[in-house]
Amino acid sequence: MKEKNIAAVVMASGFSRRLGTNKLLLPLDETTRVIDKVLDRIKEMDYAAVAVVSQYDEVLEQAARQGFAAVANTEAIEGKSSSIRLGVAALEAMAANGQIPLPDGMIFFTGDQPLLTKELLTALNAAFQEQPYKMIFPAYDGKPGSPAIFPMDMAPHLKKLQGEEGGMKAALEQKERIYYLPAGASWQNWDLDTFEDWEKIKLFYCNLSREHVK
């Protein structure tokens, strides 16, 4: 059976209001910022295409340096749904222009989840290969998290999301198609909303378990 083709969307347009500074540009160590680690991990996976959606020039520049499609988000004030819509549209446009084959699935990342392992991303990919009609969500301690894979036929539903609605809103409209994959270590789902989160992630990354996230 031919392997299913997965493209990625990175949602990196948030305002970091609780932090008061762009959380994606915060350092994890002397050389690596949060967004750098996320994009480095994605680069390892050899997705069919990667669209990085952001309102921030620094993030778009880093995406372009990685060879990813840099998608400027001028609608970020609307919320999370704007990044989802623009990311889906960017992948569709690349396929329509002949730059990539039309993906069978799309995996959606947040820009502030730097502890994801290659093992988890590989397991998500394998689950989609086995069940390409399903929406694959990682389950951390039984709770769904990110990143999630959606079959391409869900694109119209994702593009109808509004405001802060995320992919789960679209998924629940066809909940019989959701598959929850046990994700292993829950620290992979840590994201960054406060300075306390940053300190916790940075400490884990730098001092406690570097061997797990490198």
Residue 181 · residue 124 · CB < 8 Å = yes
* Residue-level pLDDT at 207: 66
* Residue-level pLDDT at 1: 63
Q: Look at residues 135, 145, 146 and name the one whose alpha carbon lies nearest to residue 105.
A: 135
Q: How many domains does the chain contain in total?
A: 1
Residue 182 · residue 6 · CB < 8 Å = no
For residue 166, tell me if it sits in a domain.
Answer: yes
* Residue-level pLDDT at 2: 76
Q: What percentage of the chain has pLDDT greater than the value 90?
A: 80
- Provide the pLDDT confidence category of residue 153 given band limits of 50, 70 and 90: very high
Report pLDDT digits (tens) over 39-87.
999 999 989 999 999 999 999 999 999 999 999 999 889 989 999 999 9
Domain encompassing residue 175: 6-213
- Residue 108 pairs in a beta bridge with 9, 148
Q: Is 108 helix (H, G, I), strand (E, B) or coil?
A: strand
Average pLDDT over residues 3-8: 94
Average pLDDT over residues 90-94: 96
For residue 199, tell me if it sits in a domain.
Answer: yes
* Residue-level pLDDT at 158: 97
CATH of the domain at 187: 3.90.550.10
For residue 68, tell me if it sits in a domain.
Answer: yes
Report pLDDT digits (tens) over 94-116.
999 999 999 999 999 999 999 99
Out of 8-22, 57-71, 77-91, 163-177, pick the least confident: 8-22
* Residue-level pLDDT at 27: 93
Q: Is the pLDDT of residue 29 over 70?
A: yes
Which tokens hold the place of 190?
A: 């840590």
Average pLDDT, the chain: 92
Report which of residues 162 and 207 the model is more confident about.
162
For residue 1, tell me if it sits in a domain.
Answer: no
Residue 182 · residue 139 · CB < 8 Å = yes
